Structure 1
């Protein structure tokens, strides 16, 4: 009895080790947590056989400088004529799948084609990191354990169901699997058999990956048969302080303010919408609709989300955006200095990371308003100096 109590206390202590510390103790805690959900001990033992911390995963996690690029630079780097041409080719190959997705979820093919292109180049580059080791590494690391520990538990369950082999399954450095790079929990809860063979295989079946991706978007709140993003032409007298994702008005109100669609017509008059100026009032301009917000549940990066949503419109036939003539972007060091100054003034910018995310933009706009500058949320050297 006394030994049983000691073993119970040891298991509880290991389970309480939420990140860091000896790897063996951490794994024992994960095993105990997984077994508490009903997964057999033999399954958890097999799952972790040969598991290791992968330093390459940590290096990849620490070096995401690509998201520090401005929208024009980022979008031009990701969107090539080859990707557009391949969108037509791969889209045609999956005509039946895209038709089924449109009928079931009301999601246009361009939306999923854009994700398919950016995540894996239409399934051609799915990543070579061992998925189990990637998730173990990121769960053990203390930067984002609350995100990756549950995914590691889900991976054990996915293994129990026969959905992955911990020794051989590979994918992205952050533990995503398949042609649309989905994490284990999404595969378990939203995985769909798109090709009708009775198996959900996101690595080898484009139909399964696309149908699952559509199911994920639907579960996140995608509104069927509604727009997501549209390029617009701005009036010179627009109230810039009303722009940004943190300000919404009806399409009717924006039209009354002088906003026009650059291609086609604006969305339904009663839809709520925001004016998005990713590089300020002199750069590209878009109107975002409720479905645009769903993108942020797929990826948290502002520049990735904006580029993916824009690329989807290109794949649906929209022209290349008008880049305008925006003020130069701040350097990474200047952006960090700006974020520090904004933080000192009481704004929450989400961290001093040198990335112009939504929280930093809101703080910039507030300071522009206070200083009597055009409040378009685009930081400039002049604003930095004034602060």
Structure 2
């Protein structure tokens, strides 16, 4: 699911200057949406018909606030999501839709493993696409003041789909965050990147795997996917290494990583491509080089753990071996990570929201404190580091 979380002040600054931007009574907020829709040129009768069944859904807000799964470390998270059955079904679907994937690779330059991994994680290969009413979900999240800048435009995109006959506010369902179909795309993405892959005259992301996969490929290309290039590659790193060189902000050509002793576990390093060394659970755990295409994953989802797991699974589906898990130091619980984030804030670090999730800002702050304390600066927080702080 493609989610972002900017500061509320920034959110409000880019919204229309109207009292119903977010918050307040739900009915007044919907009235504001209807007025804005009419101002955008949508007919009054269509607007009334679209918004008539819309209701606030408290289940959506509960789901939005309950994403504790992203507090799990990479090894735990990836082992939960990547089962032998998912690998087997992914390989089976690769064969079943071989001709479709050939078209996608030729037209959009996106490897089949990438889309298979998203298809698997988002809806279990189309098996469960979500049962939340999409119109209710989008309007509920637009009304909520946490991320209105993301969801308010999607309400009007859903209205456009309704006018085209491709959306029913009463019956269209999907994920709690408003995504629809087998690879879970938001309404604006469907409008901009939806593809009628099977040639039946409709873009049917819920019922046509061909349409869903082609549309996913088109969207990834639009987000900047570089054809013919890898996304991640598992590597081994010498025991004696400057671990402060790890992290997504330190980018070097692969030749420089090779000169520092970084070696691929499968296949050659991609000659002279820029790459970053990522250590999801510190210098004693698995290690990967992240190439430019890896950054495109963050346009699909903002969770580092989800992104790395999806990227790794894509390589598995294309023949890469099971990663070397290593023997990483014990990490922190969600409660301990919140404590860590508060301590880092007290030292002047910007860690974003205190949420118990080891995100990019928290990792950067951890790495800075590890350097200060003379510890291996691998951005992996441990109980020992928490005690030192």
What's the TM-score, normalizing by structure 2?
A: 0.94
TM-superposed CA distance for 1:361, in Å, is 0.6
Distance in 2 between residues matched to 1:259 and 1:51, nearest whole Å:
55
Distance in 2 between residues matched to 1:318 and 1:63, nearest whole Å:
33
Distance in 2 between residues matched to 1:101 and 1:372, nearest whole Å:
49
Which aligned runs of 4 or more in structure 1 are off by greater than 4 angstroms?
Answer: none
Matched residue of 2:34: which SS?
A: helix
Contact 1:15 1:30 in 2 (8 A): no
Which has the greater radius of gyration? 1
Q: 1:371 aligns with which of 373, 376, 379?
A: 373
Structure-to-structure mapping, 1:263-278, within 5 angstroms = 263-268=266-271, 270-278=272-280
Distance in 2 between residues matched to 1:187 and 1:199, nearest whole Å:
12
Q: 2:258 aligns with which of 252, 255, 258?
A: 255
Q: 1:304 to 1:38 in 2, by over 3 A?
A: same
The Cα RMSD (Å) is 1.2
Structure-to-structure mapping, 1:5-24, within 5 angstroms = 15-24=18-27
Match of 1:10 in 2: none
Unpaired runs of 5+ residues, structure 1, are 1-12
Q: 2:291 aligns with which of 289, 292, 297?
A: 289
TM-superposed CA distance for 1:59, in Å, is 1.0
Matched residue of 1:16: which SS?
A: coil
Higher RCO (CA < 8 A, seq sep 6+): 2
Match of 1:230 in 2: 233
Distance in 2 between residues matched to 1:239 and 1:36, nearest whole Å:
58
Q: 1:242 aligns with which of 241, 245, 263?
A: 245
Distance in 1 between residues matched to 2:169 and 2:60, nearest whole Å:
16
Match of 2:341 in 1: 339
Matched residue of 2:38: which SS?
A: helix
TM-superposed CA distance for 1:104, in Å, is 0.9
Matched residue of 2:385: which SS?
A: helix
Match of 1:100 in 2: 103
TM-superposed CA distance for 1:14, in Å, is 9.8
Unpaired runs of 5+ residues, structure 2, are 1-15
TM-superposed CA distance for 1:16, in Å, is 3.0
Contact 1:234 1:258 in 2 (8 A): yes
* Larger CA deviation: 309-318 vs 90-99: 90-99
Matched residue of 2:344: which SS?
A: helix
Structure-to-structure mapping, 1:67-82, within 5 angstroms = 67-82=70-85
Match of 1:280 in 2: 282
Aligned residues: 374
Contact 1:51 1:133 in 2 (8 A): yes
Distance in 2 between residues matched to 1:130 and 1:346, nearest whole Å:
42
Q: 1:203 aligns with which of 203, 206, 215?
A: 206
TM-superposed CA distance for 1:240, in Å, is 0.4
Match of 1:157 in 2: 160
Match of 1:327 in 2: 329
TM-superposed CA distance for 1:89, in Å, is 1.5
